[in-house]
Amino acid sequence: MNPALPLPLSGETPADPERRTWLLASTGMGCAGAAAVAWPLVSSFAPSERAKALGASVEVDISDLAPGELRTVEWRGQPVWLLRRTPEMLASLNATADLADPDSAVPQQPEYARNTHRSIQPEVLVTVGICTHLGCSPVTLPQGTANTSVPANWQGGFFCPCHGSTFDLAGRVFKNKPAPTNLVVPPHKYLAATTLLIGEDGERKA
């Protein structure tokens, strides 16, 4: 018997060792093939670059954001509004009545945005531009608008054309409207005086 070949198991014929070697080799190739097929399947569960980007923070330069201007940026697939409020706009926040949650008691914003202006810097509002009722996108209506869907003493703010919810220039919802809560203020912080990072909290308190 060839000493290089393994000893036959009980009941094997002399040809069986060669057949066993062939079976082992075939099994090994089959496992390798299965692994090659499984790898693309496993890798498909890894998050795509777009999925990662949807959860990433967004850095925004607001140095050229003019007083009274509203700019929209995208964060996590949502529109985020950046509004540079004028002194008159800020003054209107104290004159607005009939608000459902004037002190932002409902946690629709970080702690540092629980103030009258609902922001870190009073003049810059950062809020998600989606109505908290059914997800429509409100529009801006200035003071003195001819739109009869807002009260005669309208100080300016946001109006949802889908179901009539109204919000002031801090995103606070009015009473007796379909929207149950104020507009959401996302986590954000200032990296510099005119550079915002949306998606991460800062340590600075309003």
Q: Residue 95 in 3-state DSSP?
A: helix
Whole-prediction pTM value? 0.72
pLDDT tens digits, residue range 1-49? Answer: 555 545 454 554 555 556 555 555 555 555 445 444 444 444 444 444 5
What single-letter amino acid sits at 74? E
Domain layout of the chain by residue ranges: 1-46, 50-198
Identify the burial level of 25 via C-beta atoms within 10 angstroms of its C-beta, where 0-12 means exposed, 13-18 middle and 19 or more buried: exposed
Q: Are 104 and 132 in contact (CB under 8 A)?
A: no
Rg (CA), the chain: 31
pLDDT tens digits, residue range 39-90? Answer: 444 444 444 455 445 568 999 999 999 999 999 999 999 999 999 999 999 9
pLDDT at 15: 52
- Has domain 50-198 been given CATH number 1.10.10.10? no
